[in-house]
Amino acid sequence: MKNIRVALAGAGNCAWSFAQFVALAQAAPDTRLPGLMCHTLGGYRLADVRIVAAFDVDEAKVGLPLAEAFTAPVISATGFTDLGADRDAPVLPAPVLDGLVGPLASVVRPAAAARDATPEHVAKALVEHEVDVLVIALPTGASRAIRMFAQAALTAGTAVVNCTPEELARDASVSRRFAEAGVVLLGDDLRSHLGATCLHTALIELLLSRGLELQSTYQLNVGGNTDFLNLADAGRSASKFTSKANALRAAGMSDVDGVAGPSGFIGHLADTKLCFANVTAKSVLGSQVSIDIKLTVEDSPNAAGVIANAVRAAKTATDRGLSGAVDAPSPLLFKSPPHGLPESEARAAFLDFAS
């Protein structure tokens, strides 16, 4: 089986955790790592992934090898292990566009090379590095930058994994262009391995399976990494609220008073994320059931486990001659795929695809 050559659009916290997960797998290819749902997916192990390039705009990252870029001041995710085979992958400049709008401008200074970079440079680099899958992990709300990377990948014939809430797979015109070009597109908005949305939707599905009637629900999330700093700007977080609402509706929630989304930036939490969720429902004889949950996770490793599945799913779909938005693996991997499913159905569809 060949390697899967991956490029990262955004060398941030999630990319750092994913790169470490890949490094662990490369060091022990036959070991079943905790949190990895499928040791092989479409015949590919995580150890078969090679990160061959990354794109960023931060002057503390651009022009450096990957391992050094992940020591930049804005990186708050824990370093669990050193990078191995991919440590010297280059971090290339990308056009800034709207990537640093809002609070991020106060902590990231764009590299001179990023000011001069063009979409054509990105597409050319994808071809030169023979990239199979581009993982887009840019700041939420950076619509122009995200769509620029999608177009560059389309031009290069590179499959895309859209970790952001920006609608690409759900956008019928974008999905159609990928389908016509014979290129795979997976998205939208990465669904953390065991995060707030995963837990929340599983709980809703459980209550509905017992015949209860949902009355209200909420999901409030706070954290201290640059993702939460960016989401503190209401103009940047709007698509995240929409994406989470799509996930709850796919779980079976309808006509219910509900709110779910980022609720605050607390710097000293760093990469720790706290979720506070409540579901209230009507049960037998009109009696009420109310469930309160607090979830504490490190945010970026939680994303890495899903990216590990998504890049292999994208390559597998390409190998099978699929193109455009691919339905089968997407409801388990993303909050807002074109066609959502309840958690149990999504898992069954994913495992069937993976086999």
Q: Per-residue pLDDT tens for 235-262?
A: 999 999 999 888 888 888 776 777 898 9
pTM score, two decimals? 0.95
Per-residue pLDDT at 345 = 94
Q: For residue range 88-128, list pLDDT tens digits in order.
A: 999 999 999 999 999 999 999 999 999 999 999 999 999 99
Regarding whether 202 and 112 lie in a shared domain, the answer is no
Regarding whether 323 and 284 lie in a shared domain, the answer is no
Regarding whether 347 and 293 lie in a shared domain, the answer is no
Average pLDDT over residues 200-207: 93
Per-residue pLDDT at 253 = 78
Report the alpha-carbon distance of residue 28 to residue 40 in Å, rounded.
Answer: 14
Regarding whether 344 and 201 lie in a shared domain, the answer is no
Q: What is the CATH number of the domain that holds 160?
A: 3.40.50.720
Regarding whether 267 and 161 lie in a shared domain, the answer is no
Pairing of strands 40-41, 44-45: antiparallel
Residue 213, beta-bridge partner list: 282
Regarding whether 173 and 40 lie in a shared domain, the answer is yes
Q: Are 324 and 179 in contact (CB under 8 A)?
A: yes
Per-residue pLDDT at 310 = 98
Regarding whether 155 and 250 lie in a shared domain, the answer is no
Q: For residue range 305-354, list pLDDT tens digits in order.
A: 999 999 999 999 999 999 999 999 999 999 999 999 998 999 999 999 99
For 192, phi and psi rounded to 5 degrees?
-55, 150
Share of the chain above pLDDT 90, in %: 92
Helices (H), 117-216: 119-128, 143-156, 172-181, 196-209
Per-residue pLDDT at 251 = 84
For 214, phi and psi rounded to 5 degrees?
-65, 140
Last residue of a domain, one of 252, 271, 298: 298
Regarding whether 163 and 33 lie in a shared domain, the answer is yes
Q: What is the CATH number of the domain that holds 204?
A: 3.30.360.10
Distances (CA, A) of 148 to 54, 94, 122, 137: 15, 10, 9, 13
Regarding whether 338 and 323 lie in a shared domain, the answer is yes
Last residue of a domain, one of 298, 319, 338: 298
Last residue of a domain, one of 252, 281, 298: 298
Q: What is the DSSP string of 19-58?
A: HHHHHHHHHSTTS--TT-S-SEETTEEGGGEEEEEEEE-B
Q: For residue range 132-174, list pLDDT tens digits in order.
A: 999 999 999 999 999 999 999 999 999 999 999 999 999 999 9
Q: Are 98 and 138 in contact (CB under 8 A)?
A: no
Per-residue pLDDT at 248 = 87
When the pLDDT of each residue in the chain is averaged and rounded to a whole number, the result is: 95
Q: How many domains, in total, are found in the chain? A: 2
Regarding whether 200 and 186 lie in a shared domain, the answer is no
Q: Is 260 helix (H, G, I), strand (E, B) or coil?
A: strand
Closest alpha carbon to 299 in 255, 339, 257, 265: 265
Q: For residue range 15-42, list pLDDT tens digits in order.
A: 999 999 999 999 999 999 999 999 999 9
Sheet bearing 288-298, strands edge to edge: 257-265, 213-223, 272-282, 288-298
Per-residue pLDDT at 258 = 79
In the predicted structure, residue 183 carries a pLDDT above the cut 90? yes
Regarding whether 251 and 172 lie in a shared domain, the answer is no
Per-residue pLDDT at 230 = 96
Regarding whether 173 and 102 lie in a shared domain, the answer is yes
Domain hosting residue 219, numbered range: 196-298
Confidence label for 1 from pLDDT (cuts 50, 70 and 90): low
Residue 4, beta-bridge partner list: 49
